[in-house]
Amino acid sequence: MTQTRSRYLAILLVLILAGSLRVALVYLQTDQLQQDRDAYLAIAHNLATGHGYSSSMSTETNEIQPTAFRPPLYPCLLAVIYYLRAVPVGIGIAQIILGILTVWLTWRTAKCLQMEVGGIFAAGIVTTDPVLLQYTAYAMTEVLASFLSILLLYFLISSFSAEKSPTGTKLPVPISFWAGIIWGSAILCRPTYLAFFGVWIAARLTSSLLQRFHIVKIQSSVKQKSEQITYLTLGIILAVSPWLIRNLVVFHSPILTTTHGGYTLLLGNNPVFYQEVVQKPWGTVWSGKSLHTWQKSLDEQITQQVPAIKSEQERDRWMYQRAKQNISKQPEQFVQSCILRFKRFWNVSPLTHSTLTAKPLINWIIAGYYSLVLIGCFGGLFMVIWNKEKKWAPLVLLIFSFTLVHLFYWTNMRMRAPLVPAIALLSIYGWSQIVRFFKFARPSKASQNDRHNNR
């Protein structure tokens, strides 16, 4: 059997394993697919039944309440399943398919990065990632976001590879445009991708300026990068414009993301959280009872505001302002909470128990698994930056932007799910470099014999 056929057989087995694990979890936890943790199911049901993008209906007046509290992509996907009357089985099937595609795209992206064999191992990491496995059985955005991440990375790396070469080969512009469509879709799944776009475009523009002022010979490359950014931006605008226009019509405000950001910022920056979690030992979680009491007091404060807070936008702005006030009043606690959020985001073991972590042994296995993956990932990040591997730049910037955002907003290990494919690729690259280092650092038998004979 040739090497090529062996590799194709290996990735086929990995894909079969990915599907099997996800089918088993969905089968064992079908009831979880019907639990509406983040109101996605309620919005999707209203969409499918012709009530528009609304989270609830008033029981007294039967009046529909439009919302922009949650990003629209995932509820729209669920609405199709509701319309086909395929809930909850259809949700499970969609989650399984997205998971398998994520594994396959991880392998394809690895090939673009010249990791023929390593790509199989990276796909294996995505296949067995505990967070992605667990949330396959939940009607939440983790699985869709990880799929969009690796799809976006694949297109970005492909478009980067297709940039104009010194021989004058023309850049296939549509690749950048379609990357923009995917990026816009990702923003409609999780607004954090908007920060990724800001970081990415800043890096590209900085690179272009440095080339313009220091390397005169590649002026055409600077022009080509400008065209790439233009087409990518057009793709993003096209993807997000329906949501933007809808919000402009419904709320008379050009809401690009959601009205959820203020709550997420305030959730991790308030005196109760500082006192009950930040100033406590590592591992302390905010109890459900205390959280519920805080949320109730928050609602009471909002109802007492003069002038009255009526709309979602006003509520969102009030929460942003309150969070900023808390930060300015308690700067030391804010810094400590940022450090806590960083540790939570990159934690190797979940702080709250789920089906996968119900037993201590499983929790230890997960901790060991993530420790190995993250050691390789951080090693890979160091080597990529040290060697100035330009093809890997989108992965580095994606990880940086998500980490940066979640220093300030509420976070836990779940928020890291969209990064899993990038982490897997960097981990395999990092471990390959570590193995290569020790392989070359260890003297061969021939060199040992030579030294022995020279004595």
pLDDT at 242: 97
Q: Which domain holds residue 355?
A: 1-163+172-258+347-439
Which among 186, 182, 183, 227 has a CA at the least distance from the CA of 204? Answer: 227
Residue 286 lies in a domain: no
Domain count, the chain: 1
As a 3-state breakdown, the chain gives helix, strand, coil percent values, each rounded to 5, of 75, 0, 25
Q: What are phi and psi of 127, to 5 degrees?
A: -60, -40
Residue 445 lies in a domain: no
Residue 23 lies in a domain: yes
Residue 155 lies in a domain: yes
> Per-residue pLDDT averaged across 363-390, rounded?
94
Residue 296, pLDDT > 70, answer yes
- The whole-angstrom separation of Cα 408 and Cα 345 is 11
Residue 130 lies in a domain: yes
Residue 323 lies in a domain: no
pLDDT one-digit tens code per residue, 415-427: 999 999 999 999 9
Residue 217 lies in a domain: yes
Give the whole-number percent of the chain exceeding pLDDT 70. 86
pLDDT one-digit tens code per residue, 193-226: 999 999 999 988 887 776 666 544 444 456 667 7
Residue 320 lies in a domain: no
Chain-centroid distance, C-alpha 238: 21
- The whole-angstrom separation of Cα 167 and Cα 182 is 30
Most confident of 143-152, 308-317, 348-357, 437-446: 143-152
Which residue(s) pair with 54 in the sheet?
66
Which among 115, 145, 114 has a CA at the least distance from the CA of 132? Answer: 145
Lowest mean pLDDT among 39-43, 76-80, 94-98, 442-446: 442-446
More confident site: 443 or 73: 73
- The whole-angstrom separation of Cα 182 and Cα 244 is 16
DSSP 3-state of 132? helix
DSSP 3-state of 57? strand
Cβ-based neighbours of 235, under 8 Å, separated by 6 or more: 176, 177, 178, 179, 180, 181, 182, 183, 184
The gap between the terminal CA atoms of the chain, to the nearest Å, is 47
Residue 74, pLDDT > 90, answer yes
> Per-residue pLDDT averaged across 431-436, rounded?
90
